[in-house]
Structure 1
Amino acid sequence: MSPSKPATLTPTWVRVAAALLVVGWLVVAAFGGPKLGTLSGLQENDSTAFLDASAESSVARDEAAAFSDGDGIPLFIVLANPDGIDPATHFAGIQEFLADLPERELADGVPFGDVLAADPEALIPAEDGDAVMLPIQVDADQLGDKIGEASVSRLAVDTAQAAAEEAFADDGHGVHVTGPAAYVADFAKAFAGIDGLLLIVALVVVFAILVLVYRSPFLPLAVLMSSVLGLAAAGWAVHELASRGLLSISGQSQGILSILVVGAATDYALLVVARFREELTRVPSTWDAMKRTWRGTVEPISASAATVIAGLLCLLLSDLGSTRSLGPISALGIVAALLGALTFLPAILVLVGRRIFWPRIPQLAPEQDDDAPVDVTGTGLWGAVARFVGRRARIVWVGATLLLVLA
């Protein structure tokens, strides 16, 4: 009798399980993606998010609050005219403008007065008589809130600018809006969407590198998909914790989370893919190749992730609030990256099989014993390094350990 041909087909139950795993990750993305997009609404970017309560500047801020009459952040409307502005002449018009300003609509039917800490009343003339400043107090608690898609700070600045130009531009007065509230609005505008832009740039760069490495148009997409799904899962978890007040998130930590998950998931995926390609040259079955791949990679990848997580959790000892929260946020990102690389990516590789490496599809090496050790036959530098390590494994690991201890 002729020897039986080794099975090459993936069992049906395995394909079904892999398909369900992929669907499960897509469900996570469907819920986690929108949650990730709304993290910006939970950000705390004021000084209290970065400073410990015992810091000298925090203590000084709290002491200074006792001398403040309210919780307003100043917004200054400045009227300037090189020909001079006589407060007595324009007093009635300015007072009428200040009286009408709280009734001005910000957006969606919300009047300006709803976000003011006090009704505007005063005017401060310049010493040279060429300008008049109209101070407005915007409620500090509402400054970072949003009405629709726009922040209260941005709406307050734009509304004050438009109202003042409408009232005074015909008199030849230049209108300028400034002050701390305007700084907040400009700061938010400058960094608006930076997390999304940072993520897109990172994905494009990683995709280009993966295409150069794999010489395949399909495999990089699978690797990036595992990264993006891991990021969606991490965003979902962080959103749930932040919305319950268990974590504080800032623009800094959200940006780091995106890059960290993409980088870690891609790194772990590289190891899985490299081992899978190697195993496909040893066994004819995609499922057997994946079983060997998973057994060979899950321990080192998990150990690597555990080391990173332990290091990140050390940030919990920081006195800075934003840095302290960065630890668990980043740790959740590493966990999500690990899960994506060890579950979603293997499922895709099992479902697509060797074809995902097209056009450089790995072929089964002829007459190869599955259990025999594989000799490294590469002629390059890394082939020589691998042969050296294989021949003198004990010397290498002892020497490397000593170097690390001395370092």
Structure 2
Amino acid sequence: MRWSRDSAQSAQQAARRHRHRVERLAEWPIGRCGRWVAVVLWLALALVATPLAGRLGNAQTNDAAAFLPPNAESTQVLAAQRQLPGGDAIPAVVVFTRPTGRLTAADQAAMKAAGAQLAPFAAAPVTPAAPAPDGRAALMIVPVAQSANADAFADEINRMRAVVRKLAPPGLQTSVTGPAGVIVDTYTSFRGVETPLLFVTAAVVAVILLVVYRGPFLCLVPLVAVGAADQAATAIIYLLARHGGLTVNGQSAGILRVLVFGAGTDYALLLIARYREELTRHAAATEAMRVALLRAGPAVLASAGTVVLSLLCLLLGELNSDRGLGPVGAVGIAVAFLTMGTLLPALLVICGRRLFWPQIPRIAAPAVTTSLKDAGNPDVVGAWARAGLLIARRPRPIWLVTSAVLAGLTVGIVTFHIGLTDRGAFRHPIDSIIGEERIAAHFPLGASAPTFVIGASDSAARLGDVIDATPGVATAVVDGTGAGLTQFLVVLRDPPDSAAAAATIDRLRARVRPVPGADALVGGTTAVNHDIAQAAMRDRQLVIPLVLVVVLVILGLLLRAAVAPLVLILTVVLSFLASLGVSALVFRGVFHFAGADPSLPLFGFIFLVALGVDYNIFLMTRVREEAMHTDARTGVLRGLAVTGGVITSAGVVLAATFSVLFIFPLVQLAEIGFLVAFGVLLDTLVVRSILVPALALDLGRVMWWPSRLSRPPTPPADLLAPDVVVSEDVP
């Protein structure tokens, strides 16, 4: 017995020491000196980070080949090509077309002059203009040297476009396409909207904060904090991309900004809502913030940790684009959490109650309310309290009907098509895609993006025969030799980004591998896209189950239960599938997108599951806190009442920030923006507001098994329990 008492006392002492350390950590950014230190440190960091953040565009890599796993056959082809003269160059395909008839003598002279003037841009001899079978078009290939400076490479391609346009006689149409043209147009699309993305995102957040708080000053503080987080996170990513080997493209850079603004504002909303609630109980702003950090801090930490760990699961993927987005997003979320846990509390305490003008919170007088046992309902008021009471009347039919509706929305997944083509990747016409369409109208469909087969020169004759005999191959010619290797330029019969072309790649690989002594490899644009699609599928199969396990473990540790995490995971997965089904229908029937990017299901799952769980964390941690003082049913109703407004506002903010991705002219970002925005709203307004409360009310104490909340309640004696909980319809 004495040993048991000593052990219990030791455990209590350890718990008190831990609680004391946590309280000291929470007090640091709001102490008399600490608050000013936090502000000065963040100000100095912002001054250093801003110039670095502006250089992120120069550290991006937007060509598809850069995202291939090292063991992909296309990657091995790229390595082998570097052994050939000019083999590491990127082909730019210049296409000349005369829509009104056959090419004229003046056209022929202009193309000859273009070949001469484009020679300084080439890393290898420019191929003479090859006429189309119908005589109405011609194309030449200019191998352009790769450049680490994306701006310089883009300027070079644009100067080539200016040269051919200037030389073209009236009526002769010109375009510069091929891999080099597509890379430049993709990079230019990202580069042209970086600054508008920042200002539009900030403006969206500012407007929503102004509507939520209805105060001209309060909305500025979280905006300043999230702006500092954005610049710091972007600067860190730039340094990692420039000096740490991190692969960053325009997609991940755009998502970084959206994540920081969206998640950072969500954390600010939750903290400010709890801070304002505590200001009605504590006279000193410092004490109110201390309690707010201790009460809301664990939920925000769990939320940020869930997203960070889920994103880091992408490091186990094969695609460098997946592996790159993981650290990019994780750094953004971590910096947003750190900023909202230090700079934001410091600014709020410095400004005091006056910041909430004209709705300044005052100390609330103790209110006399009806006993819970007598009334049978929690002592809460407001719209969310009334909504909770409506759900509590018949929770089981409500969650059954809601689940059925969400399950019905998943039917749209059958129309979901993965396979976004180059011609369908842009929302507006651009030069490289126009050029591909012109080539497709006059040449074999694979001419705009040739396939390359490279093998030992000693087996070149046999290798050429096998290539020519492969179904789906239009023509093949020797394109270069060196270092004992021979490269064949192969034109496919089908469009280079079609399923039929991908099937031809598989046939080619299956036929050239057995050629004795050839050690042949198949690469090129079509092979690169095919390998990316295959790697993306493998990444989905690996990462999605892992993310589910990570989220389940975090929920279990936070809620100290087994049933609640399983229920929450199932609701979020159902919400994701419903969002994907609706998105598939909208992509096809409303936006008329040609298909979905291979990375969309994985990225959408990561964001919707990790971020969707955030709102359940915000809700259920407060439900658990309230249930500790009352009972499971009252905890649900009180938790919904006091968090309904702030969580809804947070969901609207996050959905609005992801909607900003629509300003990019790229379909893949528009798809991510719509899927996540719709999914967040569905999760906020339906899953968290209706489905989860109905399930929790129906399951009752079983929801919290095996924690002590699953056992019959005992009369509480916690002095920290509030007498009256007033609903916060807005934070």
TM-score greater than 0.5 by the shorter chain: yes
Match of 1:116 in 2: 122
Shift of 1:294: 2.5
Q: State whether residues 102 and 134 of structure 2, in contact with CA within 8 Å, keep that contact through their aligned partners in structure 1.
A: no
Shift of 1:273: 0.7
Q: State whether residues 222 and 345 of structure 1, in contact with CA within 8 Å, keep that contact through their aligned partners in structure 2.
A: yes
Which of these residues, 162, 171, 174, is aligned with residue 172 of structure 2? Answer: 174
The within-5 A match list for 1:391-406 is: 391-393=630-632, 398-401=701-704
Shift of 1:190: 3.1
Verify: 1:45 aligned to 2:62, yes or no.
yes
User: 1:274 and 1:83 mapped to 2: Cα distance?
Assistant: 71
The within-5 A match list for 1:3-402 is: 14=31, 16-55=33-72, 57-58=74-75, 70-81=87-98, 82=101, 84-86=103-105, 95=112, 97-102=114-119, 113=120, 115-120=121-126, 122-139=128-145, 141-142=146-147, 145-147=150-152, 152-153=153-154, 155-169=155-169, 172=170, 174-180=172-178, 181-366=180-365, 376-382=379-385, 389=627, 390-393=629-632, 398-401=701-704
Cα pair distance change 1:245/1:296, threshold 3 Å: same
User: 1:327 and 1:143 mapped to 2: Cα distance?
Assistant: 23
Identity of aligned residues (%): 34
Cα pair distance change 1:129/1:292, threshold 3 Å: closer
Cα pair distance change 1:54/1:295, threshold 3 Å: same
Shift of 1:353: 0.6
Cα pair distance change 1:184/1:232, threshold 3 Å: same
Cα pair distance change 1:77/1:58, threshold 3 Å: closer
The amino acid of 1:146's aligned partner reads: D
Cα pair distance change 1:200/1:392, threshold 3 Å: same
User: 1:178 and 1:201 mapped to 2: Cα distance?
Assistant: 32
SS of residue paired to 1:362: coil
User: 2:212 and 2:260 mapped to 1: Cα distance?
Assistant: 20
The amino acid of 1:184's aligned partner reads: I
Shift of 1:50: 3.0
User: 1:367 and 1:179 mapped to 2: Cα distance?
Assistant: 73
Q: State whether residues 215 and 357 of structure 2, in contact with CA within 8 Å, keep that contact through their aligned partners in structure 1.
A: yes
SS of residue paired to 1:45: coil
Q: State whether residues 66 and 320 of structure 2, in contact with CA within 8 Å, keep that contact through their aligned partners in structure 1.
A: yes
Shift of 1:377: 4.3
Match of 2:539 in 1: none
Shift of 1:337: 0.9
Cα pair distance change 1:48/1:208, threshold 3 Å: same
TM-score, normalised relative to structure 2: 0.45
Shift of 1:30: 1.8
User: 1:339 and 1:284 mapped to 2: Cα distance?
Assistant: 27
Cα pair distance change 1:98/1:311, threshold 3 Å: closer
Query: CA-to-partner distance for each residue in 1:193-248, whole Å, 9 max, x for gaps?
Result: 34444444433333333222222122122112211211212112222222113321
Aligned residue pair count? 364
Moved more, 124-133 or 64-73: 64-73
Moved more, 380-389 or 37-46: 380-389
User: 1:344 and 1:49 mapped to 2: Cα distance?
Assistant: 37
The amino acid of 2:342's aligned partner reads: T
SS of residue paired to 1:219: coil
User: 1:244 and 1:251 mapped to 2: Cα distance?
Assistant: 18
Query: CA-to-partner distance for each residue in 1:283-339, whole Å, 9 max, x for gaps?
Result: 222222222222333333223322322222222111221112222222211211111
The amino acid of 2:45's aligned partner reads: V
User: 1:137 and 1:21 mapped to 2: Cα distance?
Assistant: 53
SS of residue paired to 1:44: coil
Q: State whether residues 86 and 123 of structure 2, in contact with CA within 8 Å, keep that contact through their aligned partners in structure 1.
A: no
The amino acid of 1:159's aligned partner reads: R
Q: State whether residues 226 and 341 of structure 1, in contact with CA within 8 Å, keep that contact through their aligned partners in structure 2.
A: yes
Cα pair distance change 1:18/1:90, threshold 3 Å: same
User: 1:66 and 1:350 mapped to 2: Cα distance?
Assistant: 63
Cα pair distance change 1:230/1:117, threshold 3 Å: same
Q: State whether residues 354 and 362 of structure 1, in contact with CA within 8 Å, keep that contact through their aligned partners in structure 2.
A: yes
Cα pair distance change 1:320/1:132, threshold 3 Å: closer
User: 1:314 and 1:79 mapped to 2: Cα distance?
Assistant: 47
TM-score, normalised relative to structure 1: 0.77
The amino acid of 1:36's aligned partner reads: A
The amino acid of 1:301's aligned partner reads: V
Query: CA-to-partner distance for each residue in 1:342-393, whole Å, 9 max, x for gaps?
Result: 111111111111111111000122479xxxxxx9542544386779844204
SS of residue paired to 2:143: strand
Q: State whether residues 282 and 288 of structure 2, in contact with CA within 8 Å, keep that contact through their aligned partners in structure 1.
A: yes
Query: CA-to-partner distance for each residue in 1:175-204, whole Å, 9 max, x for gaps?
Result: 402331222222233333344444444333
Moved more, 70-79 or 392-401: 392-401
Shift of 1:398: 4.7
User: 1:343 and 1:313 mapped to 2: Cα distance?
Assistant: 24
Q: State whether residues 226 and 336 of structure 2, in contact with CA within 8 Å, keep that contact through their aligned partners in structure 1.
A: yes
Cα pair distance change 1:237/1:157, threshold 3 Å: closer
Cα pair distance change 1:265/1:167, threshold 3 Å: closer
Query: CA-to-partner distance for each residue in 1:244-277, whole Å, 9 max, x for gaps?
Result: 1332112222122112212221121122111211
SS of residue paired to 1:337: helix
The amino acid of 2:189's aligned partner reads: A
Moved more, 317-326 or 64-73: 64-73
User: 2:217 and 2:259 mapped to 1: Cα distance?
Assistant: 23
Q: CA RMSD in A?
A: 3.4
User: 2:91 and 2:207 mapped to 1: Cα distance?
Assistant: 48
Query: CA-to-partner distance for each residue in 1:41-91, whole Å, 9 max, x for gaps?
Result: 11122223433223455456667777886223233344445364349x956
Structure 1 residues not aligned, in runs of 5+: 1-12, 103-112, 369-374
Query: CA-to-partner distance for each residue in 1:132-166, whole Å, 9 max, x for gaps?
Result: 43432211x2286223xxxx23x334323332344
User: 2:232 and 2:701 mapped to 1: Cα distance?
Assistant: 39
User: 1:77 and 1:379 mapped to 2: Cα distance?
Assistant: 66
Cα pair distance change 1:343/1:63, threshold 3 Å: same
Q: Which has the higher contact order (CA 8 A, sep 6+)?
A: 1
Q: State whether residues 280 and 364 of structure 1, in contact with CA within 8 Å, keep that contact through their aligned partners in structure 2.
A: yes
Q: State whether residues 35 and 350 of structure 2, in contact with CA within 8 Å, keep that contact through their aligned partners in structure 1.
A: yes
